[in-house]
Amino acid sequence: MDSRGIRIAGLVALSALLLTGCSMASGGSDSGTSEPDIGMEAPADGGGVAPRDEQPFTEDEQAGSIEQDQDVITTGWMAITVDDPIDSAAEVAALVDAADGRIDSRNETPGTETQQARATLVVRIPADRFDDVLADLRELGEVDSVQLDSTDVSRQRRDLDSRIESLQTSVDRLRSLLAEADDVGDLIAIESELTTRQSELDALTAQRDALVDQVDYSTLTVELLSEGLAPEAGPNDFWSGIVAGWNALVGFVSGLLVVIGVMLPWLALLAVIAAIVVGIIVLATRGGRGSRDGHGATTAGSGSGTATPASASGPPEAADAPTGTGSETDRPA
């Protein structure tokens, strides 16, 4: 490219720079003239700055709104050591009653030589007064342990409300159809469906009421205990050992006598039953032996009566035969 072409290209570039600068200057002057229009009336669509009442909530206000919308079930367990659990149980009942609460269960066990006194109460306290009642309960004695649990049931509450609202609308529609129906078959079908929907509505309503009751009234189990019993000291010398052994022997003999006294009526009953059984066996044995002896005697008597005639009617030859002496005398010499 020659020097003439280079000069032409330079002039073109310089002209473009000048045009760019002029356009920027005119744009700045236009913007400066348009600034007073900012104070004009805001558009009807609310594009301007909203008043304070229409501005969005701050983070603290949003957090407070969320806490108010939450449904929380609070349950807890509290153990307190007091001087007299029975009297303290009455004080707990008075505190709960003053807070417009109620007592679901109450169990009291007086103290003995081997068992400490205790009382257990399950109380329902309004949720907005739960912390105040808890602070009052701490003043009854020495708090051994406290356990609190919270469960958020907001989603469950909203789900129940939505289902109840839908079912209520359906029930109202079915009642309107029932009032307008003329056919018997339609009446039967509508009444059947209405009964089903009403049952579902009642069940959901009862479930929501129970949930609301748990939210409105926090549940707290209060266990009141007395001081622990000190163990008895054991023997520490020879004589105290003898006394302890003698007391143990007396206790053993007393227990043995009690066992014998309990068993004695049963032993007497068993002895009577055994005597009756033995008597029956003895009588049965004697009866069998007498029958056998009578049968033997009868057999022996019949045998002797038959043998006597046989001996009397011996052979005639033996009776008529001469004796040996007579034969020798009559023999001739």
Model confidence band, residue 287 (pLDDT cutoffs 50, 70, 90): confident
Model confidence band, residue 58 (pLDDT cutoffs 50, 70, 90): low
- Residue 251 in this model has a pLDDT that exceeds 50: yes
Helix (H, G, I), strand (E, B) or coil at 1: coil
Q: Over the range 45-67, which residues count as b (16 or more CB within 10 Å of their CB) and which as e?
A: eeeeeeeeeeeeeeeeeeeeeee
CB 219 within 8 A of CB 75: yes
pTM: 0.48
What does the pLDDT look like over 203-225, one tens digit per residue?
999 999 999 999 999 999 999 99
Q: In what order do the strands lie in the sheet with 72-81?
A: 102-109, 118-126, 217-225, 72-81, 142-152
How far is Cα 302 from Cα 297, in angstroms, rounded to an integer?
9
Nearest to 82 by CA among 91, 70, 93: 91
How far is Cα 47 from Cα 52, in angstroms, rounded to an integer?
15
What does the pLDDT look like over 18-50, one tens digit per residue?
444 444 444 444 444 444 343 444 444 444 444
